[in-house]
Structure 1
């Protein structure tokens, strides 16, 4: 299969809104997502983060830069404020090139975000 542009999704939650805790959880999310899918740094195209309105102490992209992904285009945005939505939640969409088929990719949902995608294997 020829390389294609694909996207990986994931999310995590934070227990407290501090820069240190957000960085810890975002790094764990990115590490798991990239390791589980055997993504090399050069395969990355861009990463989009969203955060709920209750996450305000730092940008999630700061953790990606600290992880060594500063040369990858990163952007942060606000998640929609939906009644009953998961609070203290950070979501990510990673765009990459891969020769894997879409059904071979593994999305990652950690901490309190596991319930967002109960259709995915643990």
Structure 2
């Protein structure tokens, strides 16, 4: 069974170091809370709002040992006028037998407002 593990975070500046660092923190938390191994990951989609352009956030994935062959793709979010700005969202597709309601989705910083019912981190 493939399940989607969701996560999101925000940055305060459109700067490479902050984008990569914030994405890395988010991914670490998603991996830790869900006991994810690279072999169980089918793919990772990372989206950003249109105000993040300094670097591909996927660069953070390449910092993880043994994640070299995990397929990762970056894309843009739909620019809805009232949406949260400076936001990075992650959808990790993981092979698991865990029920959907037992997965730990991770929302950090200002992104906690996106899914407050899931933001117990």
Question: How well do the aligned residues superpose, as a CA RMSD in angstroms?
Answer: 1.0
State the secondary structure of the residue aligned to 2:50. coil
Correspondences of 1:1-122 after superposition (within 5 Å): 4-68=1-65, 69-122=67-120
Give 1:121 shift.
Answer: 4.4
TM-score by length of 1: 0.93
* Cα separation, 2, equivalents of 1:25 and 1:14: 7
Query: Structure 1 runs of 4+ off > 4 angstroms?
Result: none
Contact 2:46–2:74 at 8 Å: present in 1 too? yes
TM-score by length of 2: 0.94
Q: Deviations over 1:38-94 (max 9, x none)?
A: 111211110000000000000011111122423100000001100110000000100
Give 5+ residue unaligned stretches, structure 1: none
Give 5+ residue unaligned stretches, structure 2: none
* Cα separation, 1, equivalents of 2:17 and 2:88: 14
